[in-house]
Structure 1
Amino acid sequence: MVSNNVIVALIINLIFCVLFPIVLLVVFKIKYKFSIKTTVVGAVVFILFSQVLEHYMHLAVISNKLIPINTIAFAIYGALAAGVFEEVGRFVAFKTILKKDTEWKDGLGYGIGHGGIEALYLGGLSMLNTVIIAFAIKSNTLGVLAQGQGKAAIEAIKDSIVKLTVPEIAFSGFERLLAFTIQLALSFVVLYGIRKRKTIYLLIAILLHAIVDFPAALYQMKIITSLPLVEVITCAFAVVALVLVVKSKKIFSELKE
């Protein structure tokens, strides 16, 4: 049975994933007065490039068995794919729709849109789904909710939710914050390259993104079995990203047109 503490933690996490990008958007919009267009474009680019285009490529690779699943090769592929699609998406956005919006504040607005919709879409929706399942388990209606699923599938879903702990749930919310910080930093890397007219920064952003995603990809492939290790590595990347975000304003202020 799912404990009340776990359900409360799930609800708090859901609220956090929804509210923190919205609050950041409002606060930074008031403070730096960037165009809301940059935020909307950032959100659209994430959905289009990451959740649509990248998704269909994964389906093609998996269905055609181009790369064996649960291998280091597949982990490398997955990390690089995320880097290529998201960073190219950023690059295309700033080269086209946002070609007149390339100041530091525009990178901030874009990053909030890109990282914020990721928190809402991947964190918020996932947490909402988990909350619904947890309530179904508690009220013994999971069978009705998962109608059409096999008994083994229903038991697997139930087992995964019942085994959740409050610390795990809390860190999943914290992980959204780490990911948001990293997405913000990568937005500045790509925009800096555009301002400097050096495409090499797009490649750097792709590689950085892939490096950040690689440990998690190895964990998903069950090559790395220690989740705390992956979390520590992600925290380290986020700290570096935060330093870059903090210093980026001064870096951009020194750029000449």
Structure 2
Amino acid sequence: MGGLSLFFIALTALISIGFPIVMIIYFKRNYNASLLYLVVGALVFTIFQLLIRIPLLNWLGGQFWFYTYIVQNEKLYIVILALTAGIFEEIGRYVAFKFLLVDKREWENGVIFGIGHGGVESIILVGVNYLAFILISLHLNFGLFENIVGLLPNIDTVTPLLQETAPTLYLLAGMERLFTIIIHIGLSLLVLGSVRVGKVTGLIVAIGLHTLLNVSILLISSNIWIVEGIIGIGAILSIIYIHRKKSLWKFVI
């Protein structure tokens, strides 16, 4: 593997793990954001996505009717994947804000909830894997960590993929995590706003936006540049929304 690939792998690992940590420190120090909101945000992703949705989809994938009529219909399966992600994650946020986080439903706490939600996703799904990629890359280039690398799962499959992947794709993975965390913050504020006004409109909009974004990404997944462009646009719109909510919620209880 080339040095540029190793550099971008390390950079993506740093972004995936370091960016949410830096944001946590910033919002705690500057806005005194609640660590309870942070922890619950992380738990919502872990429970509703990793412990409920993914096992449920895996179980359904083993059912004849689901595999025959859903999985083998590529576009329908994409819609199902996108819709279930939106439903489970956004309802998870709503349940947390409505029934668990009943105090201090303020802007900074909605933000740090989103950091917890997107941050744990970033660390678990990307950061940990890229730390393993660093070990494999150092082993391939310098013969280091042979004993550790030998214990990694699917090493015979992963190694050729790492060698064949273009360096820029490793960098894009890091940028995607950054964009995605920002989007999670925006969606968290949207759902929190729904709870604050006692309506489900924001929840429905969040499910729709989440689903639409995922459908768009999955349908054109063959062109990584367009995919990242869509996610980047989503992040920019989220930043605008986050900033607007900061101004509005100063004057609304």
If the length of structure 2 is used for normalisation, what is the TM-score? 0.89
Structure 2 vs 1, CA of residues 40 and 146 (structure 1 numbering), >3 Å: closer, same or farther?
Answer: closer
Structure 2 vs 1, CA of residues 47 and 69 (structure 1 numbering), >3 Å: closer, same or farther?
Answer: farther
1:186 matched to 2:187: yes
Which residue does 2:217 correspond to in 1? Answer: 216
Structure 2 vs 1, CA of residues 134 and 69 (structure 1 numbering), >3 Å: closer, same or farther?
Answer: farther
CA contact (8 A) 1:46 1:118 kept: yes
Which residue does 1:129 correspond to in 2? Answer: 132
Unaligned runs of 5+ in 2: none
Deviation of 1:8 (Å): 2.4
Which residue does 1:145 correspond to in 2? Answer: 150
CA contact (8 A) 2:9 2:170 kept: yes
Which residue does 2:54 correspond to in 1? Answer: 55
Q: Distance in 2 between matches of 1:3 and 1:41?
A: 40
Which residue does 2:237 correspond to in 1? Answer: 240
Deviation of 1:130 (Å): 2.0
Deviation of 1:126 (Å): 1.9
Q: Which amino acid aligns with 1:232?
A: G
Residue pairs, 1:70-109, within 5 angstroms:
71-109=74-112
CA contact (8 A) 2:11 2:174 kept: no
Unaligned runs of 5+ in 1: none
The secondary structure found in structure 1 opposite 2:101 is coil
Structure 2 vs 1, CA of residues 146 and 105 (structure 1 numbering), >3 Å: closer, same or farther?
Answer: closer
Deviation of 1:148 (Å): 8.8
Deviation of 1:163 (Å): 1.7
Deviations 1:127-155 (A, max 9, x none): 1222233334443969x727996xxx83x
CA contact (8 A) 1:18 1:119 kept: yes
Deviation of 1:227 (Å): 1.5
Q: Which amino acid aligns with 2:243?
A: V
Q: Which amino acid aligns with 1:56?
A: P
Deviation of 1:70 (Å): 6.4
Alignment identity in percent? 28
Deviations 1:144-176 (A, max 9, x none): 727996xxx83x433311122322111111111
CA contact (8 A) 1:78 1:217 kept: no
Deviation of 1:218 (Å): 2.3
Deviation of 1:5 (Å): 2.4
Give the aligned length.
246
